[in-house]
Amino acid sequence: MAETLETQRVDKWLHHIRVFKTRSLATQACNKGNVTLDGQVIKPSRDLHLGNVLEVVRGDLRLRLKVLGFPSQRLGAPRVLEFCENQTPEEWIIKAGELRRQRELETPREHETVAKPNKQQLRQLREWWAQEHA
């Protein structure tokens, strides 16, 4: 028997529709002020109702999500659209992508800053050394 919920806590809903990987991350986002309802920062315990529109900030990406339903447990990715409508403007998505690309250009990847070579790099160095000194 499927139970239909009329309200649900914000942190629980954000976790169930896969915006955050864990419920505690959803709670932290609410506490930091990264989740707003009608322009007001909300607490993780705030109850959501059908039709509410949330704005969620995750890193560079800002999402606008409309509540369509309340799942009783965490959903698989294909079912998420049954419970929320993504109203994020295209400009926000493009801007987040540009910021991400810019950050990738400015900061080197972790494996590029490591001083010790990995197995593949060692093999390549040995091959190069053998060719040079053969």
Residue pLDDT, tens place only, 36-84: 998 999 999 999 999 999 999 999 999 999 999 999 999 999 999 999 9
| 1: in domain | no
Residue 2 lies in a domain: no
β-partners of residue 48 are 8
**Which residues on adjacent β-strands are paired with residue 91?**
none
Number of domains in the chain: 1
pTM: 0.75
| 3 within domain boundaries | no
Residue 74: closest CA among 13, 28, 24 = 13
The enclosing domain of 119 has a CATH number of 3.10.290.10
Residue 29, domain member (yes or no): yes
Residue 57 lies in a domain: yes
Quote the percentage of the chain above a pLDDT of 90. Answer: 74
Q: Is residue 117 part of a domain?
A: yes
d(CA 6, CA 67): 11
Note down the domain range covering 78. Answer: 8-132
For the record, the structure tokens of 23 come out as 């419920």
